[in-house]
Amino acid sequence: MNTLLLTLALIFLPGIIWARLDARYARQVKPTQSEFVVNVFVFGLTAYLATYLIYRIPWVAKVASFNLTAIALDDAEVAQTLGRSVVDDILVATAMAFVLAPAWLAVQRYKLVVRFLQKIRVTRRYGDEDVWDYLLSSDDPRAFYVNVRDEQTGQTFTGFVDQFSEAPGLRELVLSQVEAFDTATGEPTIKVARMYLARDPKGMTLEFPAESANIEGAPPPPEEDSHDGP
């Protein structure tokens, strides 16, 4: 790897870290390669912008300055312009990525942008995810307790949602305190502490029977499993 490529890799490090965290924990569907590259650029630019604004604080400006623009793109000059101050800029921006990425994940998790848009009544949409994710990500305790009507086995499984995830063509649930009944007759079939279900979306129906938010024996809110990004 020549010096220029190494320098570009260092420059894009904050964006790569942030984009990886976004792909791993914020997204239900693995981003395409082009989407990932765009995210690297946008997140990296945001991290450097935040770094620049920090350097604009008067007491910080007295001891440090933002020198990233001093990097030359001519491979013969890169080694000379990649000084310690520029490396410091990159390290600070990388630290900013570790700070801003969790904040971004919180914005995604709690749908803050969508809620703001709903508050000012410019949209009724809740986001890009489907209703499955929206319901099971809800903070309403009534969404933690479900009846799962399983067409594959002809049973209905009742329990608390511990974890859930969505993969292409597959819905996954981990239930606790599970009781199962024959859907047609209502006869009890099994009773187990935990159960994993993976079904085609068309073969699984969820019901939310709890009428009160105070559900006795309810576990903590369910965790959402994500899939690795690029």
In terms of pTM, does the model score above 0.75? no
State the average pLDDT over residues 194-222.
76
Q: Is the pLDDT of residue 154 over 80?
A: yes
Q: Give dist(CA 122, CA 124) in Å, integer.
A: 7
pLDDT (0 to 100) of residue 227: 47
Q: Report the pLDDT value the prediction gives residue 114, as an integer from 0 to 100.
A: 77
∠ CA(53), CA(55), CA(58), 5° rounding? 105
Q: What is the mean pLDDT of residues 199-217?
A: 77
d(CA 18, CA 22): 6
Q: How many CA atoms does the CB half-sphere of 114 hold within 13 Å?
A: 13
Range(s) for CATH 2.30.30.100 in the chain?
140-215
Cα–Cα distance for residue pair 51/18, rounded to 1 Å: 14
- pLDDT confidence bin for 1, thresholds 50/70/90: very low
Higher-scoring residue by pLDDT: 210, 67? 210
For the purposes of burial, counting CB atoms within 10 Å of the CB of 113, is it exposed (0-12), middle (13-18) or buried (19 or more)?
A: exposed
Name the fold adopted by 140-215: SH3 type barrels. (2.30.30)
Which pLDDT score, from 0 to 100, does residue 229 have? 46
Cβ-in-10-Å burial (0-12, 13-18, 19+) of 141 comes to middle
pLDDT over 90 (residue 191): yes
